[in-house]
Amino acid sequence: MATAAQVAATFLSFLSSSSTHHPAPSSSVSLGTNPVLLVSLRAAVTGGPRLASRLRGRRVGAAVAQLPTAHPEVASGEKKIRWSSRAVRSFAMAELEARKMRYPTTGTEGLLMGILVEGTSGAAKLLRANGITLLKVREEAANVLGKSEMFYFSPMHPPLTEAAQRALDWAVNEKLKSGEDGEVTANHLLLGIWSDKESAGHKILESLGFDDEKASLLAKPADQEAAMSPR
C-alpha cells in the first residue's frame, strides 16, 4: 500500500507535468500553469493541517490559492483576499474528477465533486448531511452532461468552463462585498455553484434535493471556515 508521502509525490508530479500535448484555450487558467499555485498545493497536499498550523505565522496562507479570477486587484495582491486551503484542495480535486469522468473541461459539476472529495469543509459536511454524496453527484453528472467516449482522454489540465469561472468569481465577489480581508472558502464556492441556475452543478444539486433553504445555512457561516481551520 502506498504511503501518504508516495501519494503526495505522485500527485505533485502529475500537477507539475507538461500540458503541451493538450493545450488549453488561452483564456483558461489551469493549476498546472500557475507556479504560485503549485507551491501552494505542495504545502496543502504534502503537509496538510499540521503544516498549515506550523507555517501559518509565516503567512504561507497568503500564497495559498491565487485561483483563476477576473478581479485584477485580487490577482495582483492589492486586495488581501486569498482562498482557504480547503478551497484550494477542492479546486485541485475538481480537475482530477473531470479527468476521471473523461470530460474535456472542468465545470461546476467538477467543482462540486471536488468539494466532496476534499470532504472537510462546512460545504462538504452540509452536502453529506443532506444525502448528497460523491457517487450520487457522479451519476447525476452523467445524466445531465452525458457520458464521455470510452476511449476519450481528457487534457492533462481540463480548462474551466465559463460557468465554473463564474462560480469562482461569484465566490470572490461575495468576499469583496464584505469589505474585509481574509479567505474565500469552499462554502463561498458551493454558493457560487448554486447561484448559477443554468449551470450543471446547480441542476445536479437541485435534482438531489438541495434548495435555497439549505443554501441559506451556508450563507451566514461562509466566512467562518477560516476560523475552523487548524491553528
Which CATH number do you get for residue 200? 1.10.1780.10
In a domain, 108, yes or no: yes
Reported confidence tier of residue 34, pLDDT bands at 50, 70, 90: very low
- 42 in any annotated domain: no
Tell me if 112 is assigned to some domain: yes
Q: What is the dihedral of CA 168, 175, 56, 45, to 10 degrees?
A: -20
Q: 106 has which bridge partners?
A: 160
Residues 6+ positions from 182 with CB-CB distance below 8 Å: 80, 81, 82, 175, 223, 226
Which of 28, 22, 158 has its CA nearest to residue 103? 158
Helix (H, G, I), strand (E, B) or coil at 198: coil
The three three-digit cell numbers of residue 95, written as one number = 480537475
Domain of 98? 85-217
Within its chain, how far is the Cα of 119 from the centroid?
11
| pTM for this prediction | 0.68
The mean per-residue pLDDT over the stretch 45-53 comes to: 44
Give the pLDDT confidence score for residue 79 in this predicted structure. 62
- Comparing 6 with 97, the larger pLDDT belongs to 97
In a domain, 222, yes or no: no
Rounded to whole angstroms, how far apart are CA atoms 148 and 141? Answer: 11
DSSP H or E segment with residue 184: strand 182-184
Q: Please state, for a pLDDT cut of 90, what percent of the chain lies above it.
A: 46
Number of domains in the chain: 1
132, part of any domain: yes
| CA pair distance 106, 188, nearest whole angstrom | 18
Residue 35 resides in a domain: no
Mean residue pLDDT across the chain: 74
Average pLDDT over residues 185-213: 96
HSE, side-chain direction, 13 A CA sphere, residue 196: 23
Q: How far is CA 167 from each of CA 5, 126, 187, rounded to the nearest angstrom? A: 32, 18, 12
Q: Is residue 33 part of a domain?
A: no
